Amino acid sequence: MKENMKQELREVLFQIELLKRKRVQDFLLQIGLPPGQGQARILVFLDSHSSVTQREIADACMLDVTTMSRTLDKLEKQGLILRERNPGCRRSYQISLTAEGRKKAEEVNGEFSELEEILCAGFQQQEIKGLTEQLRKIEENLR
């Protein structure tokens, strides 16, 4: 592959990521969630998992333990999650969404769905399938 084609691919992927990140950051700020702290990821994860441990959330959301603990503290103070001692292990907590947390998670999920629609606008279903297959090759190359 010619060097300028590789550079163009890198630049396009970078620009897409920047534009996507900007849109998500603006949305998160609108609904009162600070970008970059994993709060949206945690809420979305908890929305599809009823009650999980901090370790399960940290693994699924790729957050280190310190960031995870601080982020859960903030979510708890906002009334979005409940932390309850895990009866099976005295050193862990079970985390679940409150009713308010479920509403916030639905807002985040709605925005992510809207973003997916924007990303796929103008593509035919077959084109999306082909693009997905090509991007999977990039993903596999990175592994």
Segment 117-127 shows an average pLDDT of: 94
pLDDT band for position 1 (50/70/90)? low
CB 96 within 8 A of CB 86: no
pLDDT tens-place string over residues 10-36: 999 999 999 999 999 999 999 989 888
CB 81 within 8 A of CB 46: yes
% of the chain residues with pLDDT over 90: 62
Q: Is residue 56 part of a domain?
A: yes
CATH number at residue 96: 1.10.10.10
Domain count, the chain: 1
pTM of the model: 0.80
DSSP string of 24-92, one letter each residue: HHHHHHHTT--TTSSHHHHHHHHHTSSSEEHHHHHHHHT--HHHHHHHHHHHHHTTSEEEEE-TT-TT-
pLDDT higher than 80, residue 111: yes
pLDDT higher than 80, residue 92: no
Q: Is residue 77 part of a domain?
A: yes
Domain that holds residue 87: 36-142
pLDDT higher than 80, residue 99: yes
